[in-house]
Structure 1
């Protein structure tokens, strides 16, 4: 099998330093869950954070 190639196009107007900082903060804040980035017309329109809380036998 051949290796798949991933092409990354860099566009400075897509991910601003403020947006990158916010995404990094969200990644650090989630222990279990997901972060979804919604893109419209090549730009980030929305960032959703869904956090899951795991319950153990003690109600935590």
Structure 2
């Protein structure tokens, strides 16, 4: 498996974990030279 594929697989694993623990919010990917270098999670808490 090449570096791009490893990078993608690692990022997808992290994103899946983030999504499973979040009710509202956003996830931002920062890409540089065709590699995901940073993942940002912005979670919102809604009061009813």
Q: What's the TM-score once normalised by structure 2's chain length?
A: 0.76
Instruction: Map Cα deviations across residues 37-59 of structure 1 (whole Å, 9 max, x no partner).
Output: 11011100100000001112xxx
Unaligned runs of 5+ in 1: 1-10
Of 46, 54, 58 in structure 1, the residue corresponding to residue 46 of structure 2 is: 54
- In the other structure, the counterpart of 2:23 is 31
Q: 1 or 2, which has the higher helix percentage?
A: 2
Unaligned runs of 5+ in 2: none
Instruction: Map Cα deviations across residues 8-47 of structure 1 (whole Å, 9 max, x no partner).
Output: xxx524403x322111001111100000111011100100
Which has more radius of gyration? 1
Size of the aligned set, in residue pairs, is 45
Greater RCO between the two (CA within 8 Å, min separation 6)? 2
- RMSD (CA atoms): 1.5
